[in-house]
Structure 1
Amino acid sequence: MTFLFKRTATLLLATMLAAPMVQAAPAKADVNALLKKFSERLEQLEKRNAELEQQLTQLRTENSAKLEPRIKAIEEQNAKIEKGLENDGVSQYEPELTARLKAVEYQSLNMQKSARTVSALDGVTAGVSLTTVAQHPGEMPAGSHIHNSQLNYRGDVTVSLPLPNSGDIENKMVAAFRLGQGIGLNGVRSFAKPNASAFRVSSTSPDDSVAVLGQAWYQATIPLPFGGFKPRSREKLEINFGKMDPFSFFDQNAVANDETRQFLNTVFVHNPLLDAGGDIGVDANGFTPGFRVSYLNEVNKAEPWRLSFGVFGAGQGANYTRFFSSPLVIAQVEKQFKSFGGLNGNVRAYYWRNGQAAQYSGDVAAHSGWGISADQRVSDNVALFGRYGHQLTGRVSFDRALTFGAEFGGGLWQRGADALGVSLGWLRTSNQFRNDAPTLADFGFAASNAERVAEIYYRYRVNKQFELSPDLQLISRPAGNSDASLVKLFGVRAQIVY
């Protein structure tokens, strides 16, 4: 303020002194009067300046007295906030701002954690199913171990885990757990076993329900040509190894392949020579260690074809006690077709050799054979299937097997999610078995001709996760016994999936 006043006075004096230079010199009295007047004005300005300085000092003092408590309070609040943020816990004695900051931080961390979890689970698939079957037998043939109704259940949990890619190679792991109780009506003396869904760990008491790791295998999918441009690749090489169900890769069929939803008798689920006949050589729980390599050609996307080769433990090798001697070797070629106006059809032909196959006489020997599995959809609501098996070597109870049938979609009667399945089977007794059956302790009768099997089921969709399937099976000449009465089996299956 003082500087401004002095600056103003100096400019005013300079102006007054310079002005007379272009005029005549004023009188001395006028100059004295002007200087006096200027002196008075200067004195007034200095007085006013002193008053303003006094007011400013007073204002500063008053403001300082008012602001100091507020600044102190803010500093104390900031200290509390900083102290509260030093630990992760939330206290009721902390400032509200601290709690809010922590809440935002926790929310952000949780979102990041969820994002990491979602990213880690990307590509993971899982499925859970529970199958319960109740069966009631009609008249059983002599020698059967089952004469009353049976109830059994089976639970399956399957998880597929993607692994990090190795360049263009896709990797994944698959694990499947299984548990259950009850053996169903599989004690009937016949080649066919009426309940393929029955599962119980053989070494446990019927009172126990034990879960087993049925499958745990790795798969690498390699685009071909190796090192080429993956998006344009139309050929793939798949490699699998671990503990697995060989039927996951061989003898598949779109119409007759799943005992939890389709046909229940073993002769219609897989090739009878491999499954009911036992040439597949898996352990008591239906699994085995092995290796599989497959070449897939999709140059024609509508009609791809595949070559597969597998080596699996058989006999003692299936339970990890003798794998590298006499395994099961199986090779398959498969082709997909478009027929009946572009509807899918598949044909699979395969050859197998089991070095440790169980024979009906109780000993172990090498078996071999070949088979065909075919399925064809002929309309939107009708699909057909057929299988044929031919035994080449080995002492087996039946050496030819033919099964065929159809599934009719519920769209034919305005129940689109329902289905009706009908199938027939023919299992020809082998010449060796016909000669030996009368002397075998488990049989003791004259075997001839062939065992004939028929099954019909209706799958009723209750909702998306729940289905009920009444089932009827007929077995004529069980185990080739012409004198045995017709076996009738009534059942109902409940299937829950997630």
Structure 2
Amino acid sequence: MKKTILLLTGVLCVTLAAAQDTATRQFLNFHFQQTVITQYKPSFNAPYSGLNSLSTNEETQSSITSTLYGGARLWKGAEAYFNPEISGGAGLSKTLGVAGFPNGETFRVGAAEPKIYIARLYLKQTFEWGSEKDTLDDDINQLAGIRSKRYFSISAGKFGMADFFDGNEFSHDPRTQFMNWSLMDNAAWDYPANTRGYVLGATAELGQPGWTLRFAFTMVTTQANESTWDAKIGKANTQTVEFERRYSLSGQKGTLRVLAFRNNGKFGNYLQAIAQNHNAPDVDMTQQYGRHKYGFGISADQYLSNDFGIFAKASYNDGHTETWFFTEIDRSLSFGGVLKGKSWKRSDDELGLAFVANGLSADHKNYLAAGGYGFLVGDGRLNYSPELIAELYYKINAFQKKFWISPDYQFILHPAYNADRGPVNVFGLRAHVEF
């Protein structure tokens, strides 16, 4: 009888432990988001315009994206994620004429009709050690569970670089934070992506209690801002590395990230394009394998209280070869802050204000001044001055932290680095739902 009781007790303990483990480890999850952004700009003055200029006319445009997020735990340490997405609409002036474009949900796809595509499809394998644990919540592309603070993970497939890199606390996601392209990531990081912002490749991450080290190797498209992948991976590839240091300052958490990248592929050269044609240079006509673009970015975010935080970013790329993936920015500096609405009894609302200064390399500047065009900017000539941007938004919790409405205002001085054009005022309204 005594042995039977001990056996039953043992079975019960094992059963309870298994149940507890199942309760803390999520095996499937599904999430959804939809974001609609409408932006309006009044007319503004400009003595001339080119093929890639922001229209001087009054204009209103809207964009919409809807994403279904699915995650599954496969075997020990293995997870798979699948995100079908549909997007449509357009940016102001067909998403042309501003390097720090005001709507981070628009793409240079050339058509406003909604399109369905696979945003993400990747496998993640994690190896853990050590006794210190973190609790992971059920979230977008994250299964709830317990993970060691010491781990090594590898992810491979199709994903967005911003899923793993440059994750600033206050300035990273145009669906919920600042909308301007310059504030999504380090703006001078020409991060690998197709025209919709996703890439094929692999990334590795080494996690420790106070820091994380990341590395990615990805493919490159055959042309700038396109979607066909270059099969000559030995000649066309990118490498990105980032070190993240987490710390506490006066009891408030902060993070510092340092990122470096090198892009390799069949890129055109600005100086060579000018040498070939002084009056109408075409950088695409100088493309050849063996070209590179390298650069770095520094990003910091710091809470000053439970309800107020600040951030700053600085980034640079060499600017000798044409912009291939993101936007035509070779130097960028940004800073700002986000305040929660607790002091006016709206604790789930937030107010954000940020300032940006974007610049070009000498080669890039001379190319545009000679009448050259990139895939995003080019007025036919150039009276160069840094592109200066300010953005202010107020995010309203409209329904149970699931539906948000955000009025937004952006002031753009010297759009596309041209002191002869603007300034431009952009008024926006964002509706975002997630569950």
Contact 2:87 2:114 (C-alpha < 8 Å) held by counterparts:
yes
Alignment of 1:178 onto 2:104: no
* Equivalent residue for 2:348, pick from 417, 424, 433: 417
Task: Map 1:43-58 to 2 at 5 A.
Answer: none
Alignment of 1:161 onto 2:69: no
Alignment of 1:350 onto 2:254: no
> Matched residue of 1:482: which SS?
coil
> Matched residue of 1:211: which SS?
strand
Contact 1:314 1:323 (C-alpha < 8 Å) held by counterparts:
no
Alignment of 1:211 onto 2:116: yes
Identify if the C-alpha distance between structure 1 residues 323 and 382 changes in structure 2 by more than 3 Å, giving closer, same or farther.
farther
Contact 1:153 1:199 (C-alpha < 8 Å) held by counterparts:
no
CA distance in 1 between partners of 2:41 and 2:149 (Å):
52
> Matched residue of 2:97: which SS?
coil
> Matched residue of 1:320: which SS?
coil
> Matched residue of 2:405: which SS?
strand
Deviation at residue 334 of structure 1 after TM alignment: 0.6
* Equivalent residue for 2:29, pick from 125, 128, 135: 125
Aligned partner of 1:125: which letter? Answer: N
Aligned partner of 1:310: which letter? Answer: A
Alignment of 1:197 onto 2:102: no
Aligned partner of 1:314: which letter? Answer: V
Moved more, 362-371 or 254-263: 362-371
Root-mean-square deviation (Å): 2.6
Contact 2:171 2:177 (C-alpha < 8 Å) held by counterparts:
yes
Identify if the C-alpha distance between structure 1 residues 250 and 232 changes in structure 2 by more than 3 Å, giving closer, same or farther.
closer
* Equivalent residue for 1:221, pick from 126, 130, 135: 126
Contact 1:194 1:265 (C-alpha < 8 Å) held by counterparts:
yes
CA distance in 2 between partners of 1:468 and 1:272 (Å):
26
* Equivalent residue for 1:244, pick from 159, 165, 183: 159
Higher RCO, Cα 8 Å, sep 6+: 2
Counterpart in 2 of 1:327? 237
* Equivalent residue for 2:330, pick from 399, 417, 420: 399
> Matched residue of 1:222: which SS?
strand
Contact 2:337 2:354 (C-alpha < 8 Å) held by counterparts:
yes
CA distance in 1 between partners of 2:64 and 2:203 (Å):
31
Contact 1:176 1:216 (C-alpha < 8 Å) held by counterparts:
yes
Counterpart in 1 of 2:212? 306
What percentage of residue pairs aligned between the two structures are identical?
23
CA deviations on 1:125-168 (whole Å, 9 max, x unpaired) are 22101111111112355343544211221111111111121xxx
Aligned residues: 360
TM-score normalized by the length of structure 2: 0.77
CA distance in 2 between partners of 1:352 and 1:394 (Å):
15
> Matched residue of 1:433: which SS?
helix
Contact 1:405 1:423 (C-alpha < 8 Å) held by counterparts:
yes
CA distance in 1 between partners of 2:165 and 2:269 (Å):
22
* Equivalent residue for 1:281, pick from 177, 192, 212: 192
CA distance in 2 between partners of 1:316 and 1:460 (Å):
42
Task: Map 1:50-199 to 2 at 5 A.
Answer: 122-140=26-44, 142-143=49-50, 144=53, 146=55, 147=57, 148-165=59-76, 170-185=77-92, 187-198=95-106
Write 1 or 2 for the structure with the bigger share of strand. 2
CA distance in 2 between partners of 1:452 and 1:196 (Å):
17
> Matched residue of 2:191: which SS?
coil
Moved more, 426-435 or 152-161: 426-435
CA deviations on 1:204-240 (whole Å, 9 max, x unpaired) are x53x422111111111110137xxxxx9965211111
* Equivalent residue for 2:362, pick from 431, 453, 466: 431
> Matched residue of 2:346: which SS?
coil
Q: Which runs of 5+ in 1 are unaligned?
A: 1-117, 226-230, 299-303
Counterpart in 2 of 1:477? 414
Contact 2:292 2:321 (C-alpha < 8 Å) held by counterparts:
no
Alignment of 1:488 onto 2:425: yes
Counterpart in 1 of 2:7? none
Deviation at residue 473 of structure 1 after TM alignment: 0.6
CA distance in 2 between partners of 1:270 and 1:312 (Å):
18
Aligned partner of 2:340: which letter? Answer: G
Moved more, 319-328 or 405-414: 319-328
> Matched residue of 1:316: which SS?
coil
CA distance in 2 between partners of 1:190 and 1:320 (Å):
26
> Matched residue of 2:421: which SS?
coil
Write 1 or 2 for the structure with the bigger share of helix. 1
**Large movers: runs of 4+ above 4 Å:** 231-234, 357-360
Identify if the C-alpha distance between structure 1 residues 466 and 323 changes in structure 2 by more than 3 Å, giving closer, same or farther.
farther
CA distance in 1 between partners of 2:126 and 2:406 (Å):
37
Counterpart in 2 of 1:264? 179
Q: Which runs of 5+ in 2 are unaligned?
A: 1-21, 131-145, 271-282, 323-327, 373-377
